[in-house]
Structure 1
């Protein structure tokens, strides 16, 4: 959402400029019409001169009166002086009055425009808060609820509220469906695993039955991971309400220690650079965030024994904290990176039923980061692999 800058006048300023310009144009028009009518009145005015005695061009010294052509010239001079003085007075005082009243009108127009646009500002501020919400669930609960006459602005606000309400119901329904479906699917999968294990461990079980059982257990385990990922994704979509202090350095060290066995089995070397990175949130979800990043780096790597994964925690230059996980691996096209954060998106041979990954790892990372008021970004590493960075708000040690 864009905000007005110094080079872009606000709507209130433009309305005030329109009000002031219209007033000045109307005032100048009125002043011009008054000037024209005033001149017409002066030209139509007749002056009666009483000529007393004497010949043409003579002056009666006793009475000081003029006669003939001199009287007419004197009358024209007086008329010219009167017109000049009246015109100057009209234009000068009229211009001063126009400027004063025009300035007052512009000020009144500014106040009126501000009052008229107050409901629109309320709509804009509400929309900005919803857009800035770290997760949709919290932001979509907010409404404008504009009070006022049933005009165009009220209609706009009510329409916006209706749209947000429908989106809120849609998001809630989707999350409930995922959570309920995941819970309902867990029970039969647990039962299936128990039955398969029971059949495999019978004394009379043949080698073919045991091999089939191992395949079924592998598929069953993948489905369990998928359902667990869906539950975690549904949980991470909600904003974290109960926060506690967490140092991501401890989380990185713990996750790297846990992932050492899998990395060794995959012939991947783990590197750790756990610097202080204090934040606040749900410790289990933050552990899952780092775990998914490290696990993703191990599983999507090279298998010639030279692969590595590096996990780093630190304080970023802007004061926030970061967890960065980089790894060797196949080259990833830049245009593929945005799709990696979408659910069930995998690259290359991972798009198969028996794949170890459920395609939710980075989606869960992104959801957890957003729920904590942070963000996740990724970029290709030169030579192959990825560099994924999760950025979260910081918490000073004084808050611990």
Structure 2
């Protein structure tokens, strides 16, 4: 009973309406059957009681008539019982049908509200349900959802405004500090301590600048709108990222292999997708051991474009790996982070993948190391090759 009652609201309403109809019909048939079973006694017409022989014959005739009436009454009761059972079965079917129809009519406004709410996303929060009709519980629910959407729209607008303002306001003091360092070092015969201090400050400024870029990119992926969706090849982005980092790979004597196919096309922001691939490759290089290996591959599995980056190394805990998509989360021995690491790499990857409607999977390899898999919706081959001719490699936002 609990399993039957734990279905959808439509099923519960159907069962409730059907039970109500069936119960009332059962009571009505029972009352009809009981009332039809009331016996009406009377004297059957016969010969007048003028003598004993005639009286005995009349009494025998009365008994015969009563027996015949009793047989007819029993047959009628049997027929009424069979007819009532048939009517009850028919009424059960009609009760389910009527219950389903009534449940559909009652829940129809809720289904319309659900469908309209699903169509509203971060990119069209300006839309409203705007349900018309009498002021009832359904309209109050729709108005409440519209109020929530209005507050969400205001919050998203504030977030996007913050991203734009922070991009300008935070870079200005950094540029001022850099200029002051350049002026101090450019003086004739600067002190050795000044030059050393300037070098250390430039290193820290580079880290702050890198961290700021990560914050802004993370905010854009989470709260921004993707207005520059074009076909992008994940294979091409992977080859570019590996080529740009060839010196880092050589410095750690890493071995890179895998199959980077050109048919892994997706549709999205070239700048964000490029940063996503770069962060995956950077993570594989930075958190790798000397003389280790990297396996990177792209493919098209029929449902989407897939990028896989694997690395070797020590055996990792899957629970810690699952938290790497959160900002500043690192593995146990890397809490302080290596030089140049902001702790935002995989969280930016997760935000970009989510913004493109994809799926990110982090798997601790049983033999050691990490496997990062990104699956994104695919673009058609014609879209991909056409986009390749129009899209340049220099997006200017890496």
Same structural fold, with TM-score higher than 0.5 when normalized by the shorter chain: yes
- Between stretches 291-300 and 87-96, larger displacement belongs to 87-96
Q: 1:264 aligns with which of 250, 263, 274?
A: 250
Query: Residues 229-248 of structure 1, C-alpha deviation per residue, up to 9 Å, x if partnerless?
Result: 22222222334233222221
- 1:375 deviation in Å? 1.9
Contact map agreement 1:146 1:157 (CA 8 A) in 2: yes
CA RMSD of aligned residues (A): 3.0
Alpha-carbon distance between aligned partners in 1 of 2:124 and 2:237, rounded to the nearest angstrom: 29
Contact map agreement 2:5 2:12 (CA 8 A) in 1: no
Contact map agreement 1:269 1:308 (CA 8 A) in 2: yes
Matched, 1:116 2:100: no
How many matched pairs?
Answer: 380
Contact map agreement 2:266 2:379 (CA 8 A) in 1: yes
Q: 2:344 aligns with which of 347, 360, 363?
A: 360
Alpha-carbon distance between aligned partners in 2 of 1:251 and 1:323, rounded to the nearest angstrom: 10
Using a 3 Å threshold, how does the CA distance of structure 1 residues 149 and 223 change in structure 2: closer, same or farther?
Answer: same
Matched, 1:197 2:193: no
What are the ranges of 5 or more consecutive residues in structure 1 without an aligned counterpart? 60-65
- 1:280 deviation in Å? 1.9
Look up the SS of the partner of 2:134 in the other structure.
coil
- 1:190 deviation in Å? 1.4
Q: Structure 2 matches for 1:229-268, cutoff 5 A?
A: 229-237=214-222, 238-268=224-254
- 1:354 deviation in Å? 8.7
Look up the SS of the partner of 1:240 in the other structure.
coil
Look up the SS of the partner of 1:156 in the other structure.
helix
- Between stretches 226-235 and 154-163, larger displacement belongs to 154-163
Matched, 1:369 2:367: no
Contact map agreement 1:55 1:67 (CA 8 A) in 2: no
Look up the SS of the partner of 2:211 in the other structure.
helix
- Between stretches 261-270 and 367-376, larger displacement belongs to 261-270
Partner of 1:20: 18
Partner of 1:333: 317
Q: Structure 2 matches for 1:204-215, cutoff 5 A?
A: 204-215=189-200
Partner of 2:42: 46
- 1:83 deviation in Å? 1.5
Using a 3 Å threshold, how does the CA distance of structure 1 residues 375 and 38 change in structure 2: closer, same or farther?
Answer: closer
Alpha-carbon distance between aligned partners in 2 of 1:323 and 1:21, rounded to the nearest angstrom: 54
Look up the SS of the partner of 1:379 in the other structure.
strand
- Between stretches 371-380 and 152-161, larger displacement belongs to 152-161
Partner of 1:74: 64
Using a 3 Å threshold, how does the CA distance of structure 1 residues 206 and 111 change in structure 2: closer, same or farther?
Answer: same
Using a 3 Å threshold, how does the CA distance of structure 1 residues 330 and 100 change in structure 2: closer, same or farther?
Answer: closer
- TM, length-normalised to structure 2: 0.84
What are the ranges of 5 or more consecutive residues in structure 2 without an aligned counterpart? 386-398
Partner of 1:220: 205
Alpha-carbon distance between aligned partners in 2 of 1:96 and 1:297, rounded to the nearest angstrom: 74
Partner of 1:62: none
Look up the SS of the partner of 2:226 in the other structure.
coil
Look up the SS of the partner of 1:67 in the other structure.
helix
Matched, 1:29 2:27: yes
- TM, length-normalised to structure 1: 0.84
Contact map agreement 2:18 2:98 (CA 8 A) in 1: no
Contact map agreement 1:270 1:308 (CA 8 A) in 2: yes
